[in-house]
Amino acid sequence: MDKILVRGNGPLSGKIVISGAKNACLTLMPATLLSEEPLTLTNAPRLSDIRTMSLLLQSLGAEVQTMQDGKVIAMSSHAADNPVADYEIVRKMRASNLVLGPLLARHGHATVSLPGGCAIGARPMDIHISALEAMGAEIELKEGYLHAKAPGGLKGADIPLRFASVGATENVVMAATLAKGTTVLRNAAREPEIVDLVDCLRKMGAQIDGEGTDTITIDGVDRLHGATHPVVADRIETGTYMLAPAIAGGEVELVGGRIDLLGAFCEKLDACGIDVRQTNTGINVRRRNGRVDAVNVVTEVFPGFPTDLQAQMMAVMCTADGVSELEERIFENRFMHAPELVRMGAQIEVHGGTATVTGVDKLKGAPVMATDLRASVSLILAALGAEGETVVNRVYHLDRGYERVEEKLNAVGANIERVSEDV
């Protein structure tokens, strides 16, 4: 098992190229199950989660081929005849549940294991289930598997989600493309990854309106055809690297980054003293003064502050001027990085869903342990501005969502390396 060594190395300078969005790509890949014609994704990120989804689709009978060093994923489901998503693959990644809607739409039945992933909360499937049941599906949980069938095929329905779940929105939108009649999804999630999914489905012949709003209307069609689609830029990777110069100082350009995907996040950066400017090629970020100001953060569904940037923002607040409060409203158990930051000298108190951070002048390098994907990178960010060496253990989480993080950070002047556990 690898670990990452980070040595505080002063201000950063240069460019970081932003990859395609992990969460978008993981949503787009199951869309291949909706058509017998090829679906090709370009600008794909090279991540372990993408490989896991590829294995899952292949286990269902789809053909998946990566090209151009993994940046292009060519898929075909013309022979996908196995509607069973096995636990041994699904347990590795929560996004595996996104095959449920497409399998039901295509086969009229599916058996999908309950998903796994990193331990940041329950993320229950009940919203997915009730929405699909409203479309005529019959779903039963037995021995850890969802056994779903739609004897008369899926039918359009008016579906109000009790929570604007991203995964449930994606599952229903995909399933509804081949349902009979019109589906109206209310209180739908509005994330850019959903807009990207709809863009792709529309290229495949789907009839969908309202993406990016809280009401999405899908008119079912008889069949979808093939398409080629570029994966949208990763807004979470973008936001993560925007915080690197906020912690270490300097000025960085994020090539391919888009401010319009990170409105609420950029507002917080401005409030704490970080300049953010859209350029012709990406986003330019620099810290205005020697120390950022403390700001309060509340995570919300899009277009609010992303829960996937909460841990990274906490790392910045550890050395901010003043006291900040970070309230987590999306997932429970998402402050597991706080004790590790405390090991580096941070002053953090956690009470339920709120963390209070009192800024200190400087963090100190220390051995720390990654507990989930975003916690992993928050510790690396904190280490960029810390004195001495930080050793981040259990970084296999990191490889699920960040492509070549050492290479990208070293390109702007960081001192970071990956080593084997026995080094």
Bridge partners, residue 392, by sequence = 4, 368
220 and 156 in contact (C-beta within 8 Å)? yes
State the burial class of residue 144 (Cβ atoms within 10 Å of its Cβ: 0-12, 13-18, 19+).
exposed
For residue 160, whether the previous peptide bond is cis, meaning omega lies within 30 degrees of 0, is no
- Is 23 labelled as part of a ligand binding site? yes
Of the candidates 55, 398, 98, the one whose C-alpha atom is nearest the C-alpha of residue 236 is 398
- Is 408 labelled as part of a ligand binding site? no
DSSP labels for 230-283? EPPB-HHHHHHHHHHHHHH-EEEEEET--GGG-HHHHHHHHHTTEEEEE-SSEE
Structure tokens at 174: 């995909």
234 and 408 in contact (C-beta within 8 Å)? no
- Is 308 labelled as part of a ligand binding site? yes
């008889």: which residue's tokens?
222
Half-sphere CA count of 320, side-chain side, radius 13 A: 27
Name 157's Cβ contacts closer than 8 Å, sequence gap at least 6.
134, 135, 136, 183, 184
323-327, strands of its sheet edge to edge = 297-298, 323-327, 354-358, 347-351
**Is 118 a known active-site residue?**
yes
2 and 410 in contact (C-beta within 8 Å)? no
Whole-number Å distance between alpha carbons of 392 and 285: 26
Of the candidates 179, 161, 174, the one whose C-alpha atom is nearest the C-alpha of residue 124 is 161
DSSP labels for 76-91? E-TT----EE-HHHHT
Q: Which of 118, 266, 272, 318 is catalytic?
A: 118
Phi, psi of 9 (to 5 degrees): -135, 20
260 and 293 in contact (C-beta within 8 Å)? no
**What are the binding residues for UDP-N-acetyl-alpha-D-glucosamine?**
94, 308, 330
Catalytic positions, written as ranges: 118
Residues of the binding site: 22-23, 94, 308, 330
Q: Which residues are annotated as a binding site for phosphoenolpyruvate?
A: 22-23
